[in-house]
Structure 1
Amino acid sequence: MPEPADPAAPARPGDQVRTEEPVRTHVTPAGAGVVELARPAALNALDLTMVRLMTRALTAWRDDPAVRSVVVRSASPKAFCAGGDILAVRAAGMAGDDTAVRAYFTAEYGLNALIAGYPKPYTALIDGYAMGGGLGISVHGSARVVTERASLAMPETGIGFFPDIGASYFLPRLPGAYGWYLGLTGARVTGRAAVACGLGTHHVPAAGLPALEAELTGAGAADPDAVLRRFAAPPAPPAGHADAVARCFSAPGLPQLRARLAAEEGQREWADDTLALLDAASPASLAITAGLLRAGAGSTLEECLARELDLACRTARTADFHEGVRAALVDKDRKPAWSAQAQPERLS
């Protein structure tokens, strides 16, 4: 009697798509490994099972000559991936389960590193929300396709955390201090603006996404770059408020940043909105994030992920993180009471 199939084993060409799992994988006859995120009730928030399923499939496909490229898509009409499973991390942190916290972040950051060093074309199709962990499984790949419905963000300072998943590496490398703006404020960037600021690589109208996917998983599996060039819209104009972002977020520190925003004349409404975002964020998270971005600007991705892992495990135990997640995702009152004595964590 044959052994039962391993439910976590990566798909091979000709395998049937597994429909009961939060990550579905299959390989098309043309040699495209397809990863479909299928946890729509949670907007594809990455839990440990999803991270492990993605890691296992990508690891097997990396050295499989039958797999020529990888396409990551979502089964949800609302989100590509709304982030990591931060509710589970909060629960473990509140219970003092440091082992569970470290296991989750180690696995997630390991997946980010795997994608960053992937030897085959890796294309993420982003149509809807891509936040936090959703950027971790897309930005590190070779191509990020965004539609007009895409909404990208690193909103962690608003929940008492910090931009992780390698964000301390890629955010400081975005042009015009835009990464500092996104990382500190949690502001969202949409559609073509995501390409202009460097988070996306190609803009394709949502109506054209099915045809693009058909090409990427079919005849174009061997040359995704050529397919993307055919489908992509013309280059995007500068991201919104780019000049004001560069003026203000190139400040050497948080006090100087606030002073520049207060003095901003050309984009007064934007500056007021930005100050409001900073005021709503955890003060400790802002200080941590500023330090991480400064350190990350001169570090390798490997160094950034190691630094983030250490800090994530400590932050998961803090009252501000527990309170921030409560206000955003548990009670959803959006009124976090940050610790009056909150002090930034040491980075090392």
Structure 2
Amino acid sequence: MTADATPDVLIERRGRVGVITLNRPRAINALTHPMVLAMRAALDGWAQDDSVRTVAITGAGERGLCAGGDIVSLYHDARSGDGAASAAFWYDEYRLNAQIARYDKPIVAVQDGIVLGGGIGISAHASHRVVTERSSLGLPEVSIGFVPDVGATWLLANAPGHLGTFAALTAATLNAADAMFLGLSDAYVPSERIPRLLTALESMEAGEAVLLLSTDAGAPPLASAREWIDAAFAADSISGIAHRLRMTGGADADRAAAAMARQSPMALAVTLESLRRAATLDTLEQALGQEYRVSRHAHAAPDFVEGVRAQVIDKDRRPRWQPYNEQDRALVDAYFAPHGDHDLLLTTALTS
């Protein structure tokens, strides 16, 4: 076994497997810009190395693969910077997401424990996505005044029915079975078998190893809610969705409506529009380009700083969101306009 170490990412060779381990366990392996660059460099190198047959992505510690991007850094850049550092981070992060999706070798992403936001981006685009009984996946961006990114609008727009819209607008937490039902994951492997899975990859093809150690995840809870979710979240506006949820009745629909009521009104509107637009796009790369524009505008909006303050900095859980008039479509459309200096232009041939 060979290994290179940096403080926050471990890059190892275990026989024919290249292993990337996110190594910030105290921060649930939240992604920083240097971590993204280290992952991209490792994938670039292994792409040219015929002795590497499979790549594995995992996280250090017991809490999770990755809790998302380092939003504290993004918060400080929004408050006292010019946004350039955050733009540079997203530029490389989204390229990493596309690189993972188009990689020529199998990538086994171990979605054990907490997998949020950017954690979805480095795992849900992989060829083999493994969940465990500890998995808790989600895209909670609207709760901090932001919008799902890292290719999540593409994934959610292509989920069955309107389940992706439900997950995004309510900031829902998904267990293993629901993550598989939405298409964010592929196989269920009990956490105690993960070390055996990583060992098996040294001598077996990725698909064979995953199949050997996987088992039934059980029935997805969202399957039984599909009818009312599809009916409510097919509406064309946030107020329309909320109205349909109230008309549906039932505890689950009420909880969904209450969850939406806690989120940033602006973020909800832009997220809904992002998903609707992503559904008309042809590729993940196009969706990432759209997200790059939206992320930069959302980062500069007041609700992002306020949302992070309330949820992460002061932790009072009482964000004071900006009011939003749903009739003012121009405010939403502005999020999709070029930011001024450059766009993120990706092709399906991207490998580096």
Q: Please say whether Structure 1 and Structure 2 have the same fold, judged by a TM-score greater than 0.5.
A: yes
Deviates more, 1:333-342 or 1:318-327: 333-342
Distance in 1, matches of 2:227 and 2:93, equals 34
How far apart are the structure 2 equivalents of 1:238 and 1:72?
25
Letter in 2 for 1:21: P
Return structure 1 stretches of 4+ with deviation > 4 angstroms: none
1:232 CA drift (Å): 1.4
Q: Judge conservation of contact 2:108–2:129 (CA < 8 Å) in 1.
A: yes
1:184-221 C-alpha deviation (Å, 9 max, x unpaired)? 111000122211221110011122222222212x212x
Would you say the 8 A contact 2:176–2:217 is kept in 1? no
Matched, 1:186 2:175: no
Deviations 1:118-155 (A, max 9, x none): 11101111111000000000011111100111000000
Matches within 5 A, 1:1-348: 14-18=1-5, 20-29=6-15, 31-216=16-201, 218-220=202-204, 223-234=205-216, 236-240=218-222, 241-265=225-249, 268-299=250-281, 300-341=283-324, 343-344=331-332, 345-348=334-337
Alpha-carbon distance between aligned partners in 2 of 1:186 and 1:284, rounded to the nearest angstrom: 15
- Answer yes or no: is the 8 Å Cα contact 1:147–1:192 preserved in 2: no
Residue type at the aligned position of 1:285: A
Shift in alpha-carbon separation, 1:328–1:147, aligned structure 2, 3 A: same
Identity of aligned pairs, percent?
A: 36
- Partners of 1:330 and 1:98 in 2: how far apart? 19
Report how far residue 159 of structure 1 moved: 0.3
Q: 1:247-266 CA distances to partner (integer Å, 9 max, x unpaired)?
A: 2222233222112100114x
Q: Output the CA distance in 2 between the equivalents of 1:302 and 1:196.
A: 23
* Kept after mapping to 1: 8 A contact 2:177/2:220: no
Q: Please report the RMSD computed on the Cα atoms of aligned residues, expressed in angstroms.
A: 1.5
The aligned counterpart of 1:7 is none
Q: Whole-Å Cα distance in 2 between the matches of residues 138 and 346 of structure 1?
A: 26
1:17 Cα deviation after fit? 4.7
Gaps of 5+ in 2: 326-330, 338-352
Query: May I ask how many residue pairs the two structures share in their alignment?
Result: 328
Contact 2:100 2:126 in 1 (8 A): yes
- Contact 1:288-1:347 within 8 A present in 2 as well: no
Counterpart CA distance in 1 for 2:242 and 2:323 is: 20
CA distance in 2, matches of 1:235, 1:126: 14
Q: Residues 331 and 180 (structure 1 numbering): CA distance in 2 closer, same or farther, change over 3 Å?
A: same
What is the TM-score normalised by the length of structure 1? 0.90
Q: How big is each residue's C-alpha offset from its partner over 1:267-320, in whole Å with a ceiling of 9 and x where there is no partner?
A: x11111111110000000001001100110011211111111112112212211
Distance 2:4 2:48 in 1: 21
What TM-score does the superposition give when structure 2 sets the normalisation length?
Answer: 0.89
Looking at structure 1, the residues matched to 335 and 26 of structure 2 have their Cα atoms a distance apart, in angstroms, of 36
The amino acid that maps onto 2:234 is: S
Q: Which residue identity is paired with 1:232?
A: S
Letter in 1 for 2:139: M
Bigger drift between 240-249 and 64-73 goes to 240-249
CA contact (8 A) 2:144 2:307 kept: yes
Partners of 1:235 and 1:39 lie apart in 2 by 28
- Contact 1:196–1:239 (8 Å) recurs in 2: no
Distance in 1 of aligned mates of 2:137 and 2:220: 16
3-state SS in 2 of match to 1:139: coil
In 2, are the aligned partners of 1:193 and 1:236 still within 8 Å (CA)? no
Contact 1:96 1:317 (8 Å CA) reproduced: no
Match of 2:340 in 1: none
Structure 1 residue runs without a partner (length 5+): 1-13
Note if contact 1:197-1:238 (Cα within 8 Å) is conserved in structure 2.
Answer: no
* Superposed CA offset, 1:232-256 (max 9, x none): 1136424422332222222233222
Give the Cα–Cα distance (whole angstroms) in 2 for the partners of residues 73 and 346 of structure 1. 34
**CA displacement 1:12-36 (0-9 Å, x = unmatched):** xx42352x5211011112x110001
| Secondary structure, aligned partner of 1:152 | strand
